Each structure stands twice: as structure tokens, then as C-alpha cells.
Amino acid sequence: MNIASKQPVQNARETLAVLMGSACVIPVLTIERLEDAVPLAKALVAGGVRVLEVTLRTPVAIEAATAIMAEVPEATVGIGTILNADDLARAEALGAKFGISPGATPDLLKAAAASGLPFAPGIATASELMQALAYGFNLVKFFPAEQSGGIKALRALAGPFPDARFCPTGGIGETNAASWLGEPNVVAVGGSWLCPAADIRAGNWAGITAICNRTMKSLKPA
């Protein structure tokens, strides 16, 4: 069987492309205290940022994502830092709208292809991208984007892989988000700059909304 032609992957990848394309920017959320989850999500939504990646990097991540889904209906919640099939199953079980991984192991790709959850594996090299494509994932996270060669590296990958689409993440911020989004094969960009750890710790929700507003304005000038 041609694994790239499996129907669930086909539908899921279209869903993911629409979702990411409409978002433009996807904040990478690391939530340390459960009580920060809802005010943080509300601050992001208030700044026009509605597609949120809650990373599985803290013990409260799953509860935090669940709370946001229950209390901030304007937000579209996905799960990030999916490292294996168990993480993927947890994301699906809580009703995440999408999943993102920093990498692409064969086991994870296989599980994701079977699950039907809109999923972006992470790639940094041509071989990793080939592996993701073989499982039907043509929209991938380019990670770590700046550290892996930046826009020049992405352009180089566009040559042999004209059908691949990317969500670059890693080292992206207010000053370079627009340049990345100007690339024809970039669907959205991700990063933590929209929700700095210091602002979350300080409960500076207005500051986070302000970063979102500035970023969104810089991407879509009036």
C-alpha cells in the first residue's frame, strides 16, 4: 500500500493547512502554572492570535489545554512537543484540533498517519522531510528554523521539494516573522515570542496582548 495515499492523512493535512494558513502566527505556549492557562489564552485571543500550541513541556500541560478549550472557546487549541505515539494519543483524547512535533521518528509518523489528527512533524534536513512526505505529511514544522540555516536553508529545500509547505519555528520573532511569511512555501510561523516566560510569570497579560497586536499589525498593514 502506498502510505502517502491514506485517506485520513489527506483530510487531516488539508484541515491543518487551512488552520495554519488562517492563523499566520502560532504561539508556542509553555504553561508552568495551571492558573495561568486561561488568562494567557484570553490575552492572546484579545491580540488577534487564536490558534494556540500548548506544549507538553510541563506537568500541567494537558490540564492547561483542557481548561483553555473549556473556557476560551474563541481559541483553537493544538498540542505541541509531541514526541511519541503516547503523546499523540493524549492530544487526541483531550480533543486537540492539531498536533505538532519538533521531530519525525518513524514510529510517530506511523501513529500520526493512522490517527487522522491534523499533524505537523518537525524536520530540519532533506532526509527528515523525505520521511515525513513518505507518510503523507507535506506540511511540516521547520525546526529550529533560524538555527538550521534560516530562510536560505528553507529556499534550498524548496528546490527538490516543491510540494512541501512549512511552519518555521525557532528563533522567530517580531522582527523576522514577516520575512518568513513572505516565502511562498511558508504557511505560518510559530514561536514563543508572543508569550514571553517572564510576562507569563508576572501575569502581564496586557503586555502579551500588546505583543500580539504589534505582530499582527506588522503582518497585515492597514
Minimum distance, C-beta of residue 3 to ligand 3PG, in the bound complex (Å):
26
Q: Which residues bind ligand 3PG (CB under 6 A)?
A: 28, 102, 143, 169-172, 190-193
Catalytic residue among 42, 53, 97, 128: 53
Fill in the DSSP letter of residue 193. T
Fill in the DSSP letter of residue 186. B
Q: Are 30 and 57 in contact, with CB atoms under 8 Å apart?
A: yes
**Catalytic (active site) residue 53:** yes
Distances in Å between the Cα of 14 and the Cα atoms of 126, 136, 138, 160, 208 are 22, 11, 10, 22, 30
Q: Of 114 and 178, which CB lies nearer to ligand 3PG in the complex structure?
A: 178
Q: Of 134 and 186, which CB lies nearer to ligand 3PG in the complex structure?
A: 186
Minimum distance, C-beta of residue 10 to ligand 3PG, in the bound complex (Å):
25
Q: For ligand 3PG, which residue has the nearest CB?
A: 191
Q: Of 161 and 193, which CB lies nearer to ligand 3PG in the complex structure?
A: 193
Minimum distance, C-beta of residue 122 to ligand 3PG, in the bound complex (Å):
8
Minimum distance, C-beta of residue 138 to ligand 3PG, in the bound complex (Å):
19
Catalytic residue among 42, 97, 128, 141: 141
Task: Give residue for cell 496586557.
Answer: 206
Residue 34: how many CA atoms within 13 Å on its side-chain side?
8
Q: Which residues pair with 26 in a beta bridge?
A: 190
Q: Of 171 and 203, which CB lies nearer to ligand 3PG in the complex structure?
A: 171
Residue 105: how many CA atoms within 13 Å on its side-chain side?
9
CB count within 10 Å of CB 9 equals: 23
**Catalytic (active site) residue 141:** yes
> Could you list the active site residues?
53, 141
